[in-house]
Structure 1
């Protein structure tokens, strides 16, 4: 079986981790290749992972000259299935669909109506184009049951939607620097302090404001804690102003883009996610590899993994009071940080490995091809 995966190539978050983890495992079962349209960190990380990847460079996002090249590649290599990831790949696939007679599938990594929430132009243009492109696909893979329900509620046919939860490679070696070296990089003193961290792009959908408000409430009671925010985005200026207004700049540190996320996870004690919308985020799985427990909003499929008081805590969207309460609970019960982190690693190992994820994809590909015959 031969499957071609298409992705933007500008990806740095969960989609990047997903595709690289998936293709590494899929190549043990089938012949899988990736084509991307931007030569960036995704491309270099995929090469380093030993993945068969090629760049079909676009001049700009709307450049569809790559469609002809893709058509020739698909016919020449006789791919059985074309599998897309993200808005740019979906847009290109919309034009490719009429030129090839192959089943086409796309993975729904996020709520596509929120992908460009922070940019008016992109929200109007790219969200509209992606919504149109999505209707052209034969099949869909949703990252959670919640996303499958979302797709059905928007008029997509349920029998064309499969659900596969994200999985992570637990066998490859993790590279990271020591906690001391990581903090020194940013001139942060963490001695005698509990370290609470969030790593996510600084966009409204990630709701860092709740993280900051929760931190403020913790700091009214305890000062032996610091908060790290890793990521960049359109909300950065507003969030920094908010921290300044609250006069907690000495306790909240903006790190910018962190190129080695496992060094970040190694440095923190508690991982936090305050998103308004998620599918099944990799930041929880990546933190779990280093046995870091999580406090997360109860969105998407996260409750399939997190069990309150066992391997982490779930809070409602926007509930900064609950976030503060859970952080203070950990500060007063520090032995639970380690115990719940170990439990999270165990839960991920048993149910959310990249091996399981690849096997589920293989079954779906087989089912699609058999139904076509």
Structure 2
């Protein structure tokens, strides 16, 4: 099989991790090429991973000159399937579909109606366009059963939807600095403290307010703890103002974007995710590689990995009281942190490897071509 993956090239976070992990493993099973529409860090990271990639540059988001170039590549390259990732690629595929005669599929990485929640213009324009584009695809891959149900509820056909959970390469080298070096970078005193961290863009859908409210509650009981927030986003100023209003800025630190993500996970003791919506997030899988237990909202497909009291805790959306209780439980039972962290690693190792993810994609591609 010969598969073309079409992406924006500005991909970050979980989507970036997914595409690189997936294509790196698929490349061992078939002929894979990625085409991205802008040249950014994503392009260089894919090159470093050893996957074939090329840039078909769009000058602007609505530059349609790439469509004929893509048609030429697909027809002359004799590709079997085009596989898209993200709103920008979906938009181009909507027009490309009319010019080629092979199946086009897309991966649903997130709730597309919430992708631009923090930006009024993008929410009105890009969300509308992406919703239209998605209706044109032949098949869909949802990264959790919850997302498959979401698509069904919105009128997508059941026989056109497949589910494959995200997987991570457990053999890929993790580059990270020591805990001491990491905290010295930010001039944060950390000795004899429990470190609780959240790594997520500072957008409303990630609900950092629940994390901050829980931090405030915990600090009323214990002060031998600090809270790290890694990420940037439109909600940054409001969140920093909230921390100042609570007068807890000596315990809650905004790190900005952390390039070396495994240094962050190495530095923390407890990994937290408070999102209102998720698929099957890589921040949990990445933390698991360093045996960090997680407290997460019960959204998307996370409950397929997290088992209460075994490898972490699940809480309801916005439940800062429950998050407070779970953090204090870990603080009062520090030996459990290590036990649950090891259990989480074993759970990921058994069920959510990038190799297994790629093999599931191979089965889907073969089924689509057989159809």
Q: What is the 5 A alignment of 1:238-257?
A: 238-257=238-257
Structure 2 unmatched runs, 5+ = none
Alpha-carbon distance, 1:96 to partner: 0.1
Alpha-carbon distance, 1:60 to partner: 1.0
Alpha-carbon distance, 1:115 to partner: 0.2
Q: Which residue number in structure 1 is paired with residue 180 of structure 2?
A: 180
In 1, distance between residues paired with 2:8 and 2:210?
31
The alignment's TM-score, normalised by the length of structure 1, stands at 0.99
Q: Which residue number in structure 2 is paired with residue 146 of structure 1?
A: 146
Structure 1 unmatched runs, 5+ = none
In 1, distance between residues paired with 2:51 and 2:228?
33
Alpha-carbon distance, 1:91 to partner: 0.2
Alpha-carbon distance, 1:319 to partner: 0.3
Alignment partner of 1:318 is 2:318: yes
Q: Which residue number in structure 2 is paired with residue 49 of structure 1?
A: 49
Q: Which residue number in structure 2 is paired with residue 69 of structure 1?
A: 69
Alignment partner of 1:327 is 2:320: no
SS of 2:98's equivalent? coil
Alignment partner of 1:267 is 2:270: no
Q: Which residue number in structure 2 is paired with residue 356 of structure 1?
A: 356
Alpha-carbon distance, 1:12 to partner: 1.3
Q: Which residue number in structure 2 is paired with residue 60 of structure 1?
A: 60
Alpha-carbon distance, 1:11 to partner: 1.0
Alpha-carbon distance, 1:141 to partner: 0.1
In 2, distance between residues paired with 1:231 and 1:154?
31
Alpha-carbon distance, 1:64 to partner: 1.2
Q: What is the 5 A alignment of 1:166-205?
A: 166-205=166-205
Q: Which residue number in structure 2 is paired with residue 305 of structure 1?
A: 305
Q: Which residue number in structure 2 is paired with residue 134 of structure 1?
A: 134
Alpha-carbon distance, 1:229 to partner: 0.2
| Range with greater deviation from structure 2 (144-153 or 54-63) | 54-63
Alignment partner of 1:113 is 2:113: yes
In 2, distance between residues paired with 1:134 and 1:202?
26
Q: Which residue number in structure 1 is paired with residue 102 of structure 2?
A: 102
Q: Which residue number in structure 1 is paired with residue 87 of structure 2?
A: 87
Alpha-carbon distance, 1:173 to partner: 1.1
In 1, distance between residues paired with 2:278 and 2:64?
30
SS of 2:196's equivalent? strand
Q: What is the 5 A alignment of 1:219-238?
A: 219-238=219-238
Alpha-carbon distance, 1:62 to partner: 1.2
Alpha-carbon distance, 1:99 to partner: 0.1
Alpha-carbon distance, 1:6 to partner: 0.5
Displacement over 6 Å in runs of 4+: none
CA offsets per residue over residues 284-306 of structure 1, 9 Å max, x none? 00000000100000000000000
CA offsets per residue over residues 157-192 of structure 1, 9 Å max, x none? 011000000000001111100011011110001001
Alpha-carbon distance, 1:113 to partner: 0.1
In 2, distance between residues paired with 1:208 and 1:317?
11
Q: Which residue number in structure 2 is paired with residue 217 of structure 1?
A: 217
In 1, distance between residues paired with 2:244 and 2:207?
17
Alpha-carbon distance, 1:38 to partner: 1.3
SS of 1:98's equivalent? helix
SS of 1:97's equivalent? helix
Q: What is the 5 A alignment of 1:275-314?
A: 275-314=275-314
